Structure 1
Amino acid sequence: MKIYTKTGDKGETGLYGGTKVSKADIRIEAYGTVDELNSYLGLVRDQKIDAYTFENLIKIQKELFVVGAILATPQEKETLKNGEKRLGRTMVTDQMITDLENEIDKMDAELPQMTHFVLPGGHTTVSYCHIARAVCRRAERLVVVLQQKEIIEPSVIKYLNRLSDYLFVLARKLTIDNKAQEIKWIP
């Protein structure tokens, strides 16, 4: 299989199911930003982190492929002519969101209480994690815009919202793990 198809040479791309849209379409922007987020999570994972966090990030990266597949599939293309779902059982589940919440709670219980906003940075690994968090927030905003135009599973926004919270808490944990200083923002 060739990696280049030349079908995008005129500024269009195909969604899951075959619908052609502009590469500037909000749907493309949304799932492209999820892809960017996934790449940043790979960068975080490539740093010196503990094995548990490493495995958890792989799990999240796989879940982001689910999110991307959902965003790449227009509602009218979700069901095949024979009545089966195009994506099969691919969906954002309540368990995926609960897992993020549990991880947040577990990390938060080990961290010093937060009394102020903190400045991103302090260690390269922490900075990469904050970049991933910011990209996650952007993805969430883009999905909200897309949802104003088209029907999008509400669980996608909920997942991205929770993931950005997870990444914030992970950045705080990585600050401790790397013996970096957490700098408070005091106006």
Structure 2
Amino acid sequence: MYKDDPRIEANGQTDHLNSLLGIVRSLLPAESEAAVMIRDIQRELMVVMSHVATPGGSANPRRLGVDDLTLRMERYIDTQRGGGGFVLAGESTVTAFMHAARTPARTAARPLVS
């Protein structure tokens, strides 16, 4: 596999995302709902990386648990918005880092779907 392989780029961006989520989690109370959810997302990202790195997913037969995490995140986001609207980056350190984490999440997906 070459360094410019789309899987290398995707995993590099996913690793970057995971690092930023680690910063966010460190800023939250350890057992808060958000911290636990972020920890679960980080664990799932590691599984995603193993699937991306191995064509056919042969190295890790574990099924991804994305549906449950997506539902949990949507519920949590609904409780945080308090009536809807966008959350602006920089309203707090946590939201600033969450917005920063969104960028590598989108960048990681591009080489895999284009």
Structural mapping, 1:77-92, within 5 Å = 78=58, 86-87=59-60, 89-92=61-64
Distance in 1 separating the partners of 2:77 and 2:84: 13
Are the structure 2 counterparts of residues 42 and 111 from structure 1 closer, same or farther at C-alpha, using a change threshold of 3 Å? same
Are the structure 2 counterparts of residues 55 and 118 from structure 1 closer, same or farther at C-alpha, using a change threshold of 3 Å? closer
Residues 111-144 of structure 1 deviation map (CA, whole Å, 9 limit, x = unaligned): 32234x4532222221001111122111122221
Structure 1 counterpart of 2:15, which letter? Answer: D
Distance in 1 separating the partners of 2:109 and 2:40: 19
Aligned-pair identity in percent equals 33
Structure 2 counterpart of 1:63, which letter? Answer: E
Unaligned residue ranges in structure 2 (runs of 5+)? none
Q: Does 1:121 align with 2:101?
A: no
| Stretches of 4+ aligned residues off by more than 3 angstroms | none
* Higher normalized helix content (fraction of residues): 2
Q: Does 1:139 align with 2:111?
A: no
* Higher normalized strand content (fraction of residues): 1
Unaligned residue ranges in structure 1 (runs of 5+)? 1-20, 79-85, 146-187
Contact residue 40 and residue 131 of structure 1 kept, 8 A: yes
Superposition TM-score, scaled by structure 2 size: 0.83
Are the structure 2 counterparts of residues 27 and 97 from structure 1 closer, same or farther at C-alpha, using a change threshold of 3 Å? same
Superposition TM-score, scaled by structure 1 size: 0.53
- Report the equivalent of 2:42: 61
Are the structure 2 counterparts of residues 113 and 130 from structure 1 closer, same or farther at C-alpha, using a change threshold of 3 Å? same
3-state SS in 1 of match to 2:47 = helix
Structure with the larger RCO, 1 or 2 (CA within 8 Å, 6+ apart): 2
Distance in 1 separating the partners of 2:28 and 2:39: 15
Structure 2 counterpart of 1:39, which letter? Answer: S
Q: Does 1:101 align with 2:82?
A: no
Q: State which structure, 1 or 2, has the greater radius of gyration over its C-alpha atoms.
A: 1
- Report the equivalent of 1:111: 81
